[in-house]
Structure 1
Amino acid sequence: MAFYALFGMACVLRVTVQGYPSAAGSASCLDLTPQHGAGAQGSSSPYTLWVDTTSVKQGGMVTVTLNATAAGTTFKGFLVQARCTKCSTADTAIVPGTFAKYTASDANIITMECENEAMNSMTHTNNDVKTSATFTWTAPADWNVAEGIKFRATVVQVKVTWWADVMSDEISVTASSTSPVYPVTALVVAGFIAVSSLFP
């Protein structure tokens, strides 16, 4: 009986240390800390978050790539979010944009819901070794243009070896123009007609 009790405890402990091989857990949503039983690495991260633009309109799209930069370096898991850099709660302000796969057939990544906002995070689907992951992010159409955005990631190399605060360049958000654009010729004709109507 004692053997079965000890065996059961060992199984529970093993699962707790390994964390979530198929995806990040919801407990990691705010502080982006994996439940692996160890602290983040103190050395410089061997990973980068690359963005294809540093300026996007409200409702516009950004392509984001998580890369292993050091030779021979890989990763197994990650969690990426867009975070507000100028909000009063910048450490916990998840920008409510929408992540998506860059390649629809990519079986290594999946969107995730955090804080009851669908698809506002991107994570892994398995613990296969990876050297990169590419996805897109669409900015909310009503985002305050005064508030900047940085993509922030936690990257797990293997089990208890992970890095926090892997950051992208800051992205500025500009208001999408809703004003109609008229050709110069059309404006000249419209002006001529308006003036002519004054002299029958």
Structure 2
Amino acid sequence: MNRLWILAALVTLATLTHGYKKGAPKESCDDMKPEHGVDPKTTKFPYSITLSKSKIPPGGKVTVTLSGSDSETFKGYFVQARVGNKAVGHFDEAPGAGFVDCHGSVKSGITHSSNSEKKTVSLTWNAPKRLSEKVVFWVTMVKDGATFWVGKKSSQLEVRN
């Protein structure tokens, strides 16, 4: 019986530290934590978040590129565009990506759908047609199940006519 309990505990721990192969769960919408069962890293963030534009009109699009520095790769990501603490807008479909509906907004979060190693990912975000605000992209990057950075922020995107 004791061996069975130990085996069950090891399987559970391996699942938690391995993470979600198909991306962030809906429970991650508020705190951006990937629910891996370990604390996020507070060390230097080895990735970059690049926006294709610094200003777009309401209803416009921007490309968000996630990439590793030098030879740094990643297995997962979770991205939201936010005004304050609320996800806004929606993402277009992208290869190897899936959606998470956050804060009552459809496709407002985008995440990996495979935990294969990636060097760079480009995602297209659409601003709401009636939005006139400064938007910041919140990003969680996962190097592996036990190594991840939570809620890193992009530069501001101005959505105005």
Letter in structure 2 aligned against 1:117? S
Provide structure 1 residue ranges, at least 5 long, that are not aligned to the other structure.
85-89, 176-200
Percent identity over the alignment is 30
Preserved contact between residue 78 and residue 155 of structure 1 (Cα < 8 Å): yes
Q: Which residue of 2 aligns with 1:169?
A: 155
> Going by fraction, where is helix more abundant, 1 or 2?
1
Letter in structure 1 aligned against 2:93? K
Letter in structure 2 aligned against 1:93? K
Q: Is 1:156 the equivalent of 2:142? A: yes
Show the 5 A alignment for 1:78-117.
78-84=77-83, 90=84, 92-95=85-88, 97-101=89-93, 106=95, 108-117=96-105
Greater relative contact order (CA < 8 Å, ≥ 6 in sequence): 2
Letter in structure 1 aligned against 2:156? E
Higher CA-based Rg? 1
Preserved contact between residue 109 and residue 133 of structure 1 (Cα < 8 Å): no
Preserved contact between residue 28 and residue 35 of structure 1 (Cα < 8 Å): yes
SS at match of 2:82: strand
TM-score (norm. length: structure 1): 0.74
Label 1:164 to 1:5 Cα distance change in 2 as closer, same or farther (>3 A).
closer
Tell me the distance in 2 between the aligned counterparts of 1:13 and 1:60.
43
SS at match of 1:157: strand
Q: Which residue of 2 aligns with 1:179?
A: none
Tell me the distance in 1 between the aligned counterparts of 2:138 and 2:97.
16
User: How many Å apart are 1:155 and its aligned residue?
Assistant: 0.2
TM-score (norm. length: structure 2): 0.91
Tell me the distance in 1 between the aligned counterparts of 2:41 and 2:12.
25
Show the 5 A alignment for 1:36-185.
36-69=36-69, 71-84=70-83, 90=84, 92-95=85-88, 97-101=89-93, 106=95, 108-143=96-131, 145=132, 147-175=133-161
Tell me the distance in 2 between the aligned counterparts of 1:158 and 1:64.
21
Q: Which residue of 1 aligns with 2:9?
A: 9
- Please list every run of at least 4 consecutive aligned residues from structure 1 whose deviation after the TM superposition is greater than 6 angstroms: none
